[in-house]
Chains A and B, each alone.
Chain A
Amino acid sequence: MKQLWSLVAVGVIAMSASVVAQEGAKPAAKPGEKQVQPAQDGKKDAKKDKVEVKVGEKAPEFSLKDTDGKEHALSSLSGKIVVLEWFNPDCPFVQKQHEKTTTMADLVKKYGDKVTFLAINSNAPGSMGSGKDRNAKAKTDWKLDYPILLDESGEVGKAYQSKNTPTMYVIDAKGNLAYWGAIDDDSSADKAGKTNYVGKALDELLAGKPVSQSKTKPYGCNVKYKN
């Protein structure tokens, strides 16, 4: 079993090698710590190739299938502004944007004709809010008119260093990351914020201005990665 884990770990490291920034040596052991993930001993060797995702730089490429099986590649959307919403239909902080408030619906209504919206679910199979059926149901229940892409390996989520649902990313028409962070400034699970950071970033981008607040701290559930 142990061997299997390290194989899986090495595989994941190889996959995510190009995306996650690592600096310095990893301590041999973490004292007194609850470590849910298996040990990743191979990590040290892979770290040289890792790239940190940064606002102002190229957004990581991806190609994922949605709940209808249709493939969506970021490269095919070049020339368009893209909004990514890290998604989990069973996370109360995602439910807030779709059920308790009209935050997401308002954004889509206001910007939907000029901006492409994509939800991405990186939760591992079997974890909370994962799977095609559950997400297809959320799409229907919440009347989403944008696709929910399934990233069950977590590769794309890790490439974007997305740790929360929701985490929001705005990618400009040139394919560069223009905003990374929270949807708004209220981290509760039931109230919409006063400032919607995504709306603000889109207003500025559409007006040809630089995004004034390009990084905020996301809030929500953690993404339920496989390992």
Chain B
Amino acid sequence: MNQSRRSTTRRAERLAALAWLAAGGILGGCAAHATAARAPAAAPVSTPQPGQTHARVEVLLPRAVVPGSTMDVGVKFTIEKDWHLYWNGQNDSGTPIVLELKMPAGFKAHDTLWPAPERLVEPGEILNHVYEREVILIVPVDVANDAKVGTAEIAVEARWLACKSACVPESGGAKASVSVSAVPFDQAALYVHAEVAKARAALPIGLAKEDPRVKTTIAGRQVTILIAGARDVTFMPGPECTQVKNLAERGTTQGERLVVDLEEGPKPIRISGIVRVTNSEGNRAYYHIDTHAGARPEGGQDRPASGR
């Protein structure tokens, strides 16, 4: 392969190594803290990565689960400075993170819950929705009713595209263990991982039908998203959303009303994804919207997404 790419990679590798040393210090601290706690599950362990990558994976699990319950598996990516990984919604380039979970028999994974990404516009009106620095994807997992009491191991294999000025397809794996106990502990904190709980609380809010907070209307191939009193509104179309036109320029606006046009295409129209809002107090909020038009009555309905 070519020289310039090699030298860029080498420089990046040195940076990555430094970043990992720093991250290792923090992790070391966490592990010590975990050992001091009472429950028996092991701290998450990253398996060695093939070569140096620009992101590092960890699996974050609660300390204990009860058979028949649902737990949040957190898959945390620590991303090298200035690099980004890709959200699974509409992007002009790149490919989203892919997760594969290996779990004991009878455990069942639900759809991955994706945190709100950042909007990144690059020259040529190239728009991508990305994660920088750190992201925790959450996979809710049903613990088998007949799960064996003892320790259950969850292993994650992940693939992603890391980009900065260059793009590198990468992969990595990690695993962690959780105690399976038929007798519930009386400490709720054992059943959640604090970092994952925080990430879940920050997920976009699922809206009930006719929620007054976000009003989405579809007229022909034009969509209006109205949030009364908002300072700014941004729409990030999800993977199932009808293709939105010229999103780099039109996907975000000052004020309470965002109007976007859809690419020509067949009906039904589905408007789904994340709406990012800055409210009048200057606080950020994220909502999931999912509205249909065409097959369903005009205006469709919003349905809660990703809420528990």
A contacts, CB < 8 Å to B: 20-24, 26-37, 89-93, 124, 127-128, 134, 137-138, 154, 157-158, 163-164, 187-190, 217, 219-227
B250 at the interface (CB under 8 A from A): yes
Tell me the complex Cα distance, A89–B3, Å: 12
Which label, helix, strand, loop or mixed, suits the secondary structure of the B interface? Answer: strand
Interface size class of B (residues with CB under 8 A): 35 or more
Which label, helix, strand, loop or mixed, suits the secondary structure of the A interface? Answer: loop
B272 at the interface (CB under 8 A from A): no
B234 at the interface (CB under 8 A from A): yes
In the complex formed, the residue of B with least CB distance to A219 is B95
* Contacting pair A35 B252 (CB below 8 A): no
Tell me the complex Cα distance, A227–B92, Å: 16
Known contacts A31-B232, A31-B234, A32-B284, then 16 further A-B pairs from the complex at CB < 8 Å, ordered by chain A residue:
A27-B254, A32-B234, A33-B119, A33-B121, A92-B167, A92-B168, A154-B124, A163-B125, A164-B92, A189-B95, A219-B95, A221-B94, A221-B163, A222-B94, A222-B124, A225-B123
11 contacts between A and B (CB under 8 A): A30-B121, A33-B120, A34-B121, A36-B122, A37-B123, A90-B2, A92-B167, A189-B161, A190-B169, A225-B123, A225-B124
Tell me the complex Cα distance, A188–B234, Å: 29
B231 at the interface (CB under 8 A from A): yes
Tell me whether A34 and B118 are in contact in the complex, defined as CB-CB below 8 angstroms, given that A27-B253, A128-B165 are known contacts.
Answer: yes
B38 at the interface (CB under 8 A from A): no
Q: Which residues of A contact B259 (CB under 8 A)?
A: 24
In chain B between 250 and 273, which residues have their CB closer than 8 angstroms to a CB of chain A? 250, 252-254, 259, 261
Tell me the complex Cα distance, A188–B8, Å: 23
Tell me the complex Cα distance, A24–B94, Å: 28
Tell me the complex Cα distance, A33–B252, Å: 9
Tell me the complex Cα distance, A22–B248, Å: 11
B187 at the interface (CB under 8 A from A): no
Q: Which residues of A contact B128 (CB under 8 A)?
A: 222
Tell me whether A188 and B126 are in contact in the complex, defined as CB-CB below 8 angstroms, given that A21-B246, A32-B232, A128-B165 are known contacts.
Answer: no
Tell me the complex Cα distance, A37–B123, Å: 5
Closest beta carbon of chain B to A75's beta carbon, Å: 25
Which of B8, B124, B231 has the most CB atoms of chain A within a 10 A radius of its CB? Answer: B124
Closest beta carbon of chain B to A4's beta carbon, Å: 16
Q: Which residues of B contact A138 (CB under 8 A)?
A: 2
* Contacting pair A223 B254 (CB below 8 A): no
